[in-house]
Amino acid sequence: MVPYGDGMAEQLLLEVIVGSVRPERFGPVAANWFLHRARAIQDFEVGVLDLAEFELPVDLSETPAAERFRARVAQADAFVAVTPEYNHGYPASLKLALDSAKREWRGKPVGFVSYGGPAGGLRAVEQLRQVVAELHMVSVRDAVSFHQIRKNFDPADRYAADSADRLLRELAWWAKALRPARPYPG
């Protein structure tokens, strides 16, 4: 395990959000690749919020599934959203998840692993950065992007690995800095 930072006694809880719910989605492949890297970091305890496993109500009403989802979000110290790019944007399932919680997101850092065609999901990430800012989250600068993922995905890609490591370092730094400052007053 590799430490990122001062080796806080208590681990940070990182939730990796699998943003696509389509039947033949590539999200779990990209998420598993990232999870392998994230679980090697001693600063993080890593969980997975696969949106295909939550039946979040589109009208944002109170349901047991929504309550369970919000509880998981509330417990986390940091997030990484694994998102495809659909039609130059991010999936509706990810927007629904972001809208299904409110205060639970606040004062927490978020990073992105994106994938798609020629743009590698980067347009989706740029839109998501605006949304998470409105939720009072801190979007870390570095991200991982897989271009033409169905044709070119390589689990040994050194560039992607380096990007993931930078993302994880930034996420750990922000999570450690923000944890003692919560609850966020916004």
pTM of the model: 0.93
All structural domains of the chain with their residue ranges = 12-178
What CATH number belongs to 12-178?
3.40.50.360
Per-residue pLDDT at 184: 86
Q: How distant, in Å, are the alpha carbons of 66, 68, 133 from that of 57?
A: 7, 12, 23
pLDDT in tens for each of the 186 residues of the chain?
344 444 445 899 999 999 999 999 999 999 999 999 999 988 899 999 999 999 999 999 999 999 999 999 999 999 999 999 999 999 999 999 999 999 999 999 999 999 999 999 999 999 999 999 999 999 999 999 999 988 888 888 999 999 999 999 999 999 999 999 998 887
